[in-house]
Amino acid sequence: MASFVRQHTGAVTFSVLLHLVIVAAFSVGLDLTPRRAPSASQQLAIEASVVDAALVQREMDRIAESEREASARREEQERLAREAAAEAERERDQEQRRLEAARQAREEAERVEEQRQAELQVQREREAAEAERERVRLAELEQQREAEQARQREAERLRLEEEARQARLREEEAERQRQAEERRRAEEEQRRLRAEAEARRQAELDAELAQAIEIENERRQAEEAGLLDQYVRMIENRIQQSWIRPASAVPGLECVVNVQQIPSGDVVDVRIGRCNGDDAVVRSIETAVLRASPLPKPPVPSLFARNLEVIFRPDL
């Protein structure tokens, strides 16, 4: 409350004076009638008003003193505030200078670090270049060493290949000589074998010729004795016995039958040549020949013939 009064001294003073004037007005009253000498009550009111004015004056003096004290306090507070603001400004300036110095120090440190890093980078690049040159030198030395080793290996390979070629040539020459010797021996053996085979073949031919002559003589004698005709009739009779006459067979049937047989008499093939019968008759004769297999053996072995020609005449 006191701080409120100090901050609003003028307004409070005006309010007090206004209230005092109002109270005095109600106490005295307003008289609009022509003025006349004041009565005793009016005199008391005037005195009270004078007393109240003194009180008002004392209150106003007290208020003025309060205002002066408040003004002094305000001035002191403003001075202190100005001093605090100045101190704060000085501190801000100092902090700004400190920050600026720190910034400059940081920038200087960064510049020094960048310079150091640049120098380190140059040093690293110089070292890398030196290492690269050393690597290239070592690589060239390694290539030269590998090339020399490759040359030596190639020379060794060529030497081994030449030795192998010479050895192969010697082996081939020895193989050719061996094969030539084997061919010579084989040719001699072949000539001997051919001579022996020729002698055997000639002996076999002589024996076969003699056997053929003997068989031919035997056959001729058998034919002269009628054994061949007997042999043919035996075959014809066997075929006719196996034949089943078809309905289309005409009287006077005559067909030429070509029969192929093996020494056992088994028929291996039959063909009908000239024939005055129809297809049914031809098939019946073929069936009869196959059914008659094996055919009768000849009375004399020399009469055997692989291919026979038989005249099929069932009506005779």
Amino acid 109: pLDDT: 86
Amino acid 160: pLDDT: 94
What is the mean pLDDT of the segment spanning 17-37?
Answer: 53
Please tell me whether the overall predicted TM-score, pTM, comes out greater than 0.85 for this model.
Answer: no
Name all domains of the chain by residue range, CATH numbers in brackets. 226-312 (3.30.1150.10)
Helix (H) / strand (E) containing 286: helix 279-292
pLDDT category at 302 given cuts 50, 70, 90 is confident
Q: What is the pLDDT of residues 146-196, one digit of tens each?
A: 999 999 999 999 999 999 999 999 999 999 999 999 999 999 999 999 888
Residue 1: is its pLDDT beyond 60?
Answer: no
Amino acid 30: pLDDT: 43
Nearest-angstrom CA–CA distance, 302 and 286: 26
Asked if residues 267 and 293 have their Cβ atoms less than 8 Å apart, the reply is yes
Amino acid 250: pLDDT: 87
Angle (CA) 277-280-282 rounded to 5° is 55
Amino acid 177: pLDDT: 92
Amino acid 59: pLDDT: 83
Amino acid present at 119: E
The phi and psi torsions of 218 (rounded to 5 degrees) equal -65, -40
| CA-to-CA dists, residue 152 to 139, 142, 143, 287, angstroms | 19, 15, 14, 91
Q: Which of 286, 234, 291, 218 is nearest to 256 (CA)?
A: 286
Q: What is the pLDDT of residues 201-246, one digit of tens each?
A: 888 886 776 555 555 655 565 455 578 888 889 999 999 999 999 9
Amino acid 18: pLDDT: 62
In this prediction, what percent of the chain has a pLDDT beyond 70? 78
How many helical (H) and strand (E) elements, i.e. helices and strands, does the chain have?
A: 5, 3
Residue 27: is its pLDDT beyond 60?
Answer: no
Q: For the chain, what is the mean pLDDT?
A: 82
Amino acid 22: pLDDT: 61
Of how many residues is the chain composed? 316
If one compares 121 and 25, the residue with the highest pLDDT of the two is: 121
Q: Tell the residue number behind the tokens 């001075």, with chain if given.
A: 79
Asked if residues 28 and 49 have their Cβ atoms less than 8 Å apart, the reply is yes
Nearest-angstrom CA–CA distance, 134 and 153: 28
Residue 5: is its pLDDT beyond 50?
Answer: no
Amino acid 218: pLDDT: 55
Residue 72: is its pLDDT beyond 70?
Answer: yes
Angle (CA) 129-132-136 rounded to 5° is 140
Nearest-angstrom CA–CA distance, 304 and 289: 17
C-alpha of 96 from chain center: 67
Amino acid 95: pLDDT: 87
Both tokens of 269, joined, read: 């093939």
